[in-house]
């Protein structure tokens, strides 16, 4: 379970497999739902939950649900909930190296900036033990706006002792055809693990590298120079 927490916290609710077979459930309260260089909670606190099942064969599946706020209040029928079911397969490459791939779909209970925005995403990742992860995520129609996005991300974790872990992450979200910017984003923080959960303090920052007009009024301002606190409980 600690590996599941260690992967989850710096990546902030990306789809991933549990380190153990069987069911895992997590619920998290965070001061900001940070996602690939922007906020999905309007820079406000929110609650997220994740349910995951891992089969001995390497097949896994699950879903997360989160309260969202895209600050599009002037539009009717705006979304307040994000649901992401996913399935994937994980297998051992060599000794402590592991490869996995997954597919998932973002569902929203209403519209984003006046338009229905459900879409699919495809992911692949390589893990080295519980120390390093690199992943790529692709969508051919992000936010149902007719544009493709690719996200590249690396994260590293190092245990200071049995209860404290430091971690860093670096990513590039190639999304200017959909959300106006290509983003370079990064984070660094420390996590304190206790019996049934973890408390995380993290610094996050983002730089917009290139600009376009985006698609149909979809606009997410870049997230600059923030500290995020998250408390996660696992079952």
Residue 6 clears pLDDT 50, i.e. is over it: no
Task: Tell me the average pLDDT across 137-148.
Answer: 94
- 105 or 17, greater pLDDT: 105
The CA distance from 116 to 96, in Å, is 42
Residue 200: the pLDDT is: 96
- 1 or 175, greater pLDDT: 175
The CA distance from 40 to 199, in Å, is 20
Residue 29 bridge partners (DSSP): 47, 231
The CA distance from 173 to 93, in Å, is 27
Residue 179: the pLDDT is: 83
Q: What is the CATH number of domain 2-234?
A: 2.40.160.40
**DSSP code of residue 9:** H
Share of the chain above pLDDT 70, in %: 88
Distance of CA 61 to the CA centre of its chain: 16
Write out pLDDT tens, residues 216-227: 567 787 788 999
Residue 52 clears pLDDT 70, i.e. is over it: yes
pTM for the structure as a whole:
0.88
The CA distance from 72 to 94, in Å, is 47
Residue 219: the pLDDT is: 77
Residue 18: the pLDDT is: 47
> Counting beta carbons within 10 angstroms of the beta carbon of residue 37, is it exposed (0 to 12), middle (13 to 18) or buried (19 or more)?
buried
Residue 14: the pLDDT is: 39
pLDDT grade, residue 215 (50/70/90)?
low
Task: Tell me the average pLDDT across 55-59.
Answer: 94
The CA distance from 33 to 51, in Å, is 18
């Amino acid at each position: 379970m600690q590996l599941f927490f260690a992967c989850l916290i710096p990546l902030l609710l990306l789809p991933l497999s549990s380190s153990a077979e069987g069911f895992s459930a997590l619920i998290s309260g965070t001061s900001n739902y940070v996602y690939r260089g922007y906020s999905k909670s309007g820079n406000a606190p929110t609650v997220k939950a994740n349910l995951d099942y891992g089969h001995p064969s390497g097949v896994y599946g699950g879903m997360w649900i989160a309260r969202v706020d895209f600050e599009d209040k002037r539009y009717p029928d705006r979304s307040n909930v994000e649901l992401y079911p996913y399935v994937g397969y994980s297998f051992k490459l060599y000794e402590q190296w592991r490869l996995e791939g997954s597919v998932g779909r973002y569902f929203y209970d209403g519209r984003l900036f006046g338009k229905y925005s459900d879409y699919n995403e495809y992911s692949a990742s390589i893990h080295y033990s519980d120390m390093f992860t690199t992943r790529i995520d692709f969508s051919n129609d992000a936010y149902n706006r007719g544009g493709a996005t690719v996200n590249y991300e690396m994260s590293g974790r190092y245990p200071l002792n049995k209860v404290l872990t430091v971690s860093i992450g670096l990513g590039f979200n190639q999304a200017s055809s959909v959300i106006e910017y290509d983003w370079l984003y990064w984070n660094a923080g420390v996590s304190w693990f206790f019996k049934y959960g973890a408390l995380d303090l993290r610094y996050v920052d983002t730089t917009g590298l290139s600009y376009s007009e985006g698609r149909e009024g979809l606009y997410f301002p870049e997230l600059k120079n923030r500290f995020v606190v998250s408390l996660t409980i696992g079952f």
